[in-house]
Amino acid sequence: DSGVTQTPKHLITATGQRVTLRCSPRSGDLSVYWYQQSLDQGLQFLIQYYNGEERAKGNILERFSAQQFPDLHSELNLSSLELGDSALYFCASSVVGSYGYTFGSGTRLTVV
Amino acid sequence: SQQGEEDPQALSIQEGENATMNCSYKTSINNLQWYRQNSGRGLVHLILIRSNEREKHSGRLRVTLDTSKKSSSLLITASRAADTASYFCATGGMNRDDKIIFGKGTRLHILP
């Protein structure tokens, strides 16, 4: 157990639907990062939050949004889902200046 | 966009042999990190090397960094079957606003 908790582990949904992925960071970590991993695109950075504020944005589609709550957990919302959104979605957390990032075990999203 | 690029994309070696993976990156960095990912699982942080360091060891892992060539290498000595995984280099991540950018990884397969 890495200390970063992601739920659900697996999600199967239909095109056009909306889903919410949840991440609880490791205790004490203020930063949360979301990544998307697909076979053809590798591991793509989506978005970063630090202590409730958005800090950096990567290749995140307009159909996707995220937030970090006062208790530091984060949610990634994916809407108007397309087949190409099928991927593993990872959350990672870190303390500023720490040695590396701690990843959750991911949510496998399948859009059918 | 990818910052790091690993080479080779895939590597198969006999158990007991050494495995070397390389990473090249494009822009100036504060640090470079290596991660391991077992199939379908989350990434595990292996080692971080700072931009002012040239070599670092951790158990059977040896990482080198050449900032003049913008490259790094990861050496796994005396490989074991359990080392079978994908290995990613990642750059950045020491400052509050930094996110880490991953390469596409090297798939390492240890043959019995």
pLDDT tens-digit profile of A67-108? 999 999 999 999 999 999 999 999 999 876 665 789 999 999
- B39 and chain A in contact, CB less than 8 A: no
3-state secondary structure of A11: strand
Is the pLDDT at B96 greater than 60, yes or no?
Answer: no
Q: How far is CA A58 from the centre of its chain?
A: 12
Is the pLDDT at B52 greater than 80, yes or no?
Answer: yes
Task: Read off the pLDDT band of B26 (50, 70, 90).
Answer: confident
Tokens 């494009």, located at residue: B26
Q: How far apart are CA B8 and CA B38, in angstroms?
A: 17
pLDDT reported for residue B97? 58
Task: Please give the average per-residue pLDDT across B87-102, as a whole number.
Answer: 76
pLDDT reported for residue A1? 79
Q: Does B45 contact A48 at a Cβ distance shorter than 8 Å?
A: no
Is the pLDDT at B65 greater than 70, yes or no?
Answer: yes
- B50 and chain A in contact, CB less than 8 A: no
- B25 and chain A in contact, CB less than 8 A: no
Task: Please give the average per-residue pLDDT across B81-101, as a whole number.
Answer: 81
Chain A residues with beta carbon closer than 8 angstroms to that of B100: 33, 45, 101
Q: Does B43 contact A103 at a Cβ distance shorter than 8 Å?
A: yes
pLDDT reported for residue B41? 86
For β-strands A19-24 and A5-7, DSSP reports them as: antiparallel
- B97 and chain A in contact, CB less than 8 A: yes
- Which regions of chain A does DSSP assign to beta strands (E)? 5-7, 10-13, 19-24, 31-38, 42-50, 53-57, 64-68, 74-78, 87-94, 102-103, 107-111
Lowest mean pLDDT among A11-20, B37-46, B62-71: B37-46
